[in-house]
Chains A and B, each alone.
Chain A
Amino acid sequence: MSEVVLEKVSRNFGNFAAVADVDLRVNQGEFVTLLGPSGCGKTTTLRMVAGLEPNSGGRISIGSEVVSDAGRGIFVPSERRRLGMVFQSYAIWPHMSVFENVAYPLRVRRCPNAEIQEAVARTLRLVEMERFADRPAPALSGGQQQRVAIARALVFEPKVLLLDEPLSNLDAKLRLQMGDEFRAIQKRLGMTTLYVTHDQSEAMALSDRVVVMDRGRIQQIGAPEEIYRFPASRTVAAFFGTPNLLDAEVKACTRIDGRRVRLDVVGQGWGGRCEAAHEARPGQAVTVMVRPEDARIASAGSDAGDQELRWSGRIAHSTFRGATRSIVVQTDNGQLNVDMSAFDAHAIGDNVNVVVSQRAAWAVPRGDVTA
């Protein structure tokens, strides 16, 4: 009943399409994240759902109600859409106390005072800010402001919650903690949530489903794991981490199951098997993605197993990162990144092999060179 549906939604600024033909269904109680680089149209999409920006095409419905339909000229203003929203800047009104900030959505709806007292106290308790009710809003730290912003968005129990990069102004440690707390509250209250971020790890940790956007278009929709392991395109593959992307040509193709196929591919000086989503004709060009954490370093001359791909090269850089060590190996196919245990010792200049399991190699069509 309170799902959010976007049908062919687009937004043009003159000739520039900020958002083009976005189709998305956020189910009741689901946590969906719009992810993409800055300028990809994710915030514009969220603002169109909020009614802060008119959509120049398509239709948006919240629950059973069409809130904007460009074709029929329907546009329900923000205040009638019954949403909760957390802004990137938090938008805590500096002239009000914490209590008044949170009470605002109830006050403008003319709730009785006793009810307001009760609801605000309850919501502040939820975000553990009840001790700060009488503080003037400017006297809060970033994390506290964020909690107040969340409390304000929750206080009148909206069916749909919108969040625009709510964690981006916090330091790394607080970001993790607030993210987890927020996800817990969201699950408990079962609110439909649309979340915008450019931070991939945040998106993966919090969401039921992730929507990857680029240049105003949806690139892929799926569960975090699915998007990370089985990207649909080179753009999506390149967006998470620093994957190795290797050009190759298809030799043969066999179907594994309903969802995946196995490809025999040959690149420059290497060859083997990998997996892909769609069948490919022999001779077709593909890009094979290998995640640094799936690769390992073997000593030079060692043979690859039957189920493995192998490249030989020389260690060019080694960077200690604490939990892992990032190694860059110079091969004939360019530089390959490998993440390995921090305390395995390899010297720069060593001749080594980079080895990866065939099941961890994923091929995407090379057709799109947008990345």
Chain B
Amino acid sequence: MALSVDDRVGEVGKAPVAAGLQVRLRRLQTGPTSRATALVVLVAVLGFLSVYPLSMLLYGSLHSTPPGMAGTFNLDGYQQVLTPESLLTLLNTIGISFAKTIPSVVLAVMLAWILARTDTPFRGTLEVLVTLPFFIPPILTAMAWGMLGNPQVGLLNQLYQWITGSTDSPINVYSYGGVVWHMMQYSVPFLFLLIVDAFRAMDPSLEEAARMCGASRWRTFRTVTLQLMLPALTSGAILSFIRGIENFESPLFFGTPAGIRVITTEIYDSINQRSPPQYQYATAASFVIMALLFLIVLLQWRLLRGRSFVTVSGKGYSPGVIKLGSWRWATFSFCVLFFVVTVVLPLGQLLIGSFFKFFGFYEWDMLTLDHYRNVFGSSEFWRGFRNTMLLGLIGATLTMVLGGAVAYISVRTKWRGRSLIDAMAWLPWMMPGIVLGVGFLWGFALLPHAIPIYGTIWALLLAYISLGTPLSVRVMSSAYAQLSYDLEECSRVHGASWLQTMWRIIIALAWPSFAVGWVLVFFGIMRELSASVLLYSVGSEVLSVVLLKLWANGNAEQVSVIGLMMMALVILFRWVQLRLLRPRVGAL
């Protein structure tokens, strides 16, 4: 973009020599040079954030010793990955992800249909409640469910025993069922958010036409509604499947104690829990899981090629709402039940847990505020809190600025090289947090000593920005895509420079999306565990790491206190997001 051009450059044209000079000067000042500078800076930043850790994974998987030590190059790491136990772990990972994706899709379709297409009462409120679990850090619900479904002293088992009088403990979350159940609490609202707009925006005349042809309501749903939703459903299901493979918290909390191993916990264990740490094996496994995810993404592209993601045009349809009669209270209860199980139960457990002396022993004389005193008196908690807030604020801002710049160039310019930076920004999307953590572990260790990132809070910051960038680019891309080019061009024609246009039109119109993206990235940083747990060191613990350490020491009561406060923060942020931003941005 030309930023400054001599106003009268044309008049100088009368003297050809001067004109030539002017033109050359102008070229130097503007367009190509500043464009090249911007591209080089972005490529360098994104290269460090995505390509560098990725290539370090390859390097580390071939390197026989831990990062920073002299060693040789061999294929031992991959040989270890190819042993029967490791392949079993891989199959386990895929199986668990399948097992949670299928019921999640069914539940999400039911919820989306109920909330978008029926006259169930309080649909607006229910929608907010049903999607809330998605925003709660998984580590919190994992710990809460660890207490609720504990086979010895879990609240649910105690309730069962109290009601039936038996001594059985039917519920044990430390099992396959527990892992799948905990994953589902996240994948159901995730899928719901992905597909509900497709349900809501569908042209009702397509369904009405089927009814007019004599199809029953159920047949219409099967042959028209569901078929039209299929592209959105398929891609949603594949995304959910990928997230299932990347998942770390559920198998860590419920799988590992029961001896159920998946690939993410395997990577974590071989670096953090084994002595000596098996870096080469962990890195090779990371590389393999990335390759696997890449294949799935390719498959997704093949499946969805030529099929539109959106089955509807932008017209303002008001979709046909189906009158359910008295059944609407049944659908209402179904949604409330989902909310109670996924939010109220864990929240209640944290609340109860925080006030009793020992978790599991709920007697009146055990009530205490000691845990609150201990937490608020603990310097470790305050340090974690400070680190999380600092990283959240700085990380979310930098991520959104980076994402905004990348998205602007890839959506609104025709610069050469824009697809390169778009691809580079998208790369971390394929890397689960733990894999990126391993990549950065190698990357930071191999940096020259003059750049001491390893073991500092900056290591976490860089990892968070890298993990958040794909999301921020997506949010800002769709924001820019909604702004017609005319709005920008009109401003230029009427005398505003590129900078003025940027400030007064683009930023003025896109800031709500920026804010939405910011909150989402902030949520992401607050909940991040798998990369943090590899990259933190003493002094740079974040809240999720503090929680994990307390939990590992059996301090479930203080965990409850911190968990409650994080919950409050999540609900506050979500409220701000819905209250202040929703009116300005179409879909949240």
Q: State the A residues within 8 Å of B (CB).
A: 50-52, 61, 64-67, 69, 72-85, 87-91, 93-95, 104-105, 108-109, 152-153, 156, 162
The complex places the Cα of A74 from the Cα of B495 at a distance, in Å, of 18
- Collect the chain B residues with CB atoms within 8 Å of residue A85's CB: 490, 493-494
- Collect the chain A residues with CB atoms within 8 Å of residue B86's CB: none
Partner of A72, one of B23, B484, B486, B497: B23
Please determine whether A89 and B486 come into contact, CB atoms closer than 8 angstroms.
yes
Name the distance in Å between B169's Cβ and chain A's nearest Cβ.
59
Question: Is B565 interfacial (CB-CB < 8 Å)?
Answer: no
Question: Is B330 interfacial (CB-CB < 8 Å)?
Answer: no
Please determine whether B487 and A91 come into contact, CB atoms closer than 8 angstroms.
yes
Partner of A78, one of B8, B9, B489: B489
Please determine whether A153 and B509 come into contact, CB atoms closer than 8 angstroms.
no
Partner of A156, one of B11, B484, B495, B505: B495
Interface positions of B from 4 to 29, Cβ below 8 Å from A:
5, 7-11, 13, 19-20, 23, 27
Please determine whether B495 and A79 come into contact, CB atoms closer than 8 angstroms.
yes
The 3 A-B residue pairs with the shortest CB-CB distance in the complex, in nearest-first order: A91-B486, A66-B10, A91-B490
Known A-B contacts A69-B13, A74-B13; the reply to A94 vs B509 at CB < 8 A is: yes
Name the distance in Å between A39's Cβ and chain B's nearest Cβ.
18
Please determine whether B494 and A152 come into contact, CB atoms closer than 8 angstroms.
yes
Known A-B contacts A76-B10, A93-B509, A95-B509; the reply to A50 vs B491 at CB < 8 A is: no
Known A-B contacts A82-B495, A89-B486, A91-B486; the reply to A61 vs B10 at CB < 8 A is: yes
Name the distance in Å between B492's Cβ and chain A's nearest Cβ.
4
- Collect the chain B residues with CB atoms within 8 Å of residue A93's CB: 487, 490-491, 505, 508-509
Q: What mask results when residues 478 to 508 of chain B are scored 1 for a CB within 8 Å of chain A, else 0?
A: 0000001011011111111110100011001
The complex places the Cα of A79 from the Cα of B492 at a distance, in Å, of 5
Question: Is B44 interfacial (CB-CB < 8 Å)?
Answer: no
- Collect the chain B residues with CB atoms within 8 Å of residue A108's CB: 491, 494-497, 500, 504
Question: Is B550 interfacial (CB-CB < 8 Å)?
Answer: no
The complex places the Cα of A64 from the Cα of B13 at a distance, in Å, of 12
Name the distance in Å between A87's Cβ and chain B's nearest Cβ.
4
Please determine whether B509 and A162 come into contact, CB atoms closer than 8 angstroms.
no
Please determine whether B493 and A162 come into contact, CB atoms closer than 8 angstroms.
yes
The complex places the Cα of A105 from the Cα of B493 at a distance, in Å, of 9
Please determine whether B492 and A77 come into contact, CB atoms closer than 8 angstroms.
yes
Please determine whether A109 and B11 come into contact, CB atoms closer than 8 angstroms.
no
- What are some 25 contacts across the A-B interface (CB < 8 A)? A51-B492, A52-B489, A65-B11, A72-B13, A72-B20, A72-B23, A76-B10, A77-B492, A77-B497, A79-B492, A79-B494, A82-B495, A83-B493, A83-B494, A84-B493, A87-B486, A87-B490, A91-B490, A95-B508, A105-B494, A105-B495, A108-B495, A152-B490, A152-B494, A156-B494
Name the distance in Å between A190's Cβ and chain B's nearest Cβ.
20
Known A-B contacts A80-B5, A95-B509; the reply to A88 vs B496 at CB < 8 A is: no
The complex places the Cα of A333 from the Cα of B575 at a distance, in Å, of 75
- Collect the chain B residues with CB atoms within 8 Å of residue A109's CB: 495
Secondary structure dominating the interface of B: helix
- Collect the chain A residues with CB atoms within 8 Å of residue B491's CB: 93, 104, 108
The complex places the Cα of A59 from the Cα of B492 at a distance, in Å, of 21
Question: Is B102 interfacial (CB-CB < 8 Å)?
Answer: no
Name the distance in Å between B476's Cβ and chain A's nearest Cβ.
17
Known A-B contacts A89-B486, A91-B487; the reply to A76 vs B493 at CB < 8 A is: no
CB nearest neighbor in B for A155? B494
Known A-B contacts A61-B10, A76-B9, A80-B7; the reply to A89 vs B493 at CB < 8 A is: no
- Collect the chain A residues with CB atoms within 8 Å of residue B500's CB: 108
- Collect the chain A residues with CB atoms within 8 Å of residue B420's CB: none
The complex places the Cα of A78 from the Cα of B2 at a distance, in Å, of 10
Q: State the B residues within 8 Å of A (CB).
A: 2, 5, 7-11, 13, 19-20, 23, 27, 484, 486-487, 489-498, 500, 504-505, 508-509
Please determine whether B505 and A84 come into contact, CB atoms closer than 8 angstroms.
no
- Collect the chain A residues with CB atoms within 8 Å of residue B508's CB: 93, 95
- Collect the chain B residues with CB atoms within 8 Å of residue A104's CB: 491, 494, 496, 504
Known: A77-B2, A80-B5. 19 other contacts (CB 8 A): A50-B489, A51-B492, A69-B10, A69-B13, A72-B20, A76-B7, A77-B498, A78-B489, A78-B492, A79-B494, A85-B493, A90-B486, A95-B508, A105-B495, A108-B495, A108-B496, A109-B495, A153-B494, A156-B495
Please determine whether A79 and B484 come into contact, CB atoms closer than 8 angstroms.
no
- Collect the chain A residues with CB atoms within 8 Å of residue B484's CB: 89, 91
CB nearest neighbor in B for A53? B489
- Collect the chain B residues with CB atoms within 8 Å of residue A84's CB: 493-494
- Collect the chain B residues with CB atoms within 8 Å of residue A89's CB: 484, 486
CB nearest neighbor in B for A152? B494
Please determine whether B489 and A73 come into contact, CB atoms closer than 8 angstroms.
no
CB nearest neighbor in A for B2? A77
CB nearest neighbor in B for A81? B493
Name the distance in Å between B215's Cβ and chain A's nearest Cβ.
37
Please determine whether A66 and B494 come into contact, CB atoms closer than 8 angstroms.
no
Name the distance in Å between B256's Cβ and chain A's nearest Cβ.
51
The complex places the Cα of A64 from the Cα of B14 at a distance, in Å, of 12
Name the distance in Å between B564's Cβ and chain A's nearest Cβ.
39
- Collect the chain A residues with CB atoms within 8 Å of residue B492's CB: 51-52, 77-79
Please determine whether A77 and B487 come into contact, CB atoms closer than 8 angstroms.
no
Please determine whether B494 and A52 come into contact, CB atoms closer than 8 angstroms.
no
- Collect the chain B residues with CB atoms within 8 Å of residue A90's CB: 486
Name the distance in Å between B5's Cβ and chain A's nearest Cβ.
6
- Collect the chain B residues with CB atoms within 8 Å of residue A80's CB: 5, 7
Please determine whether A79 and B493 come into contact, CB atoms closer than 8 angstroms.
yes
Please determine whether A77 and B5 come into contact, CB atoms closer than 8 angstroms.
yes
Name the distance in Å between A334's Cβ and chain B's nearest Cβ.
40
CB nearest neighbor in A for B491? A104
The complex places the Cα of A91 from the Cα of B505 at a distance, in Å, of 11
Name the distance in Å between B7's Cβ and chain A's nearest Cβ.
5
Please determine whether B23 and A91 come into contact, CB atoms closer than 8 angstroms.
no
CB nearest neighbor in B for A108? B496
CB nearest neighbor in B for A82? B495
Name the distance in Å between B547's Cβ and chain A's nearest Cβ.
41
Name the distance in Å between A150's Cβ and chain B's nearest Cβ.
12
Please determine whether B486 and A65 come into contact, CB atoms closer than 8 angstroms.
no
The complex places the Cα of A90 from the Cα of B509 at a distance, in Å, of 16
- Collect the chain A residues with CB atoms within 8 Å of residue B23's CB: 72-74
- Collect the chain A residues with CB atoms within 8 Å of residue B13's CB: 66, 69, 72, 74
The complex places the Cα of A335 from the Cα of B491 at a distance, in Å, of 51
Please determine whether A75 and B2 come into contact, CB atoms closer than 8 angstroms.
yes
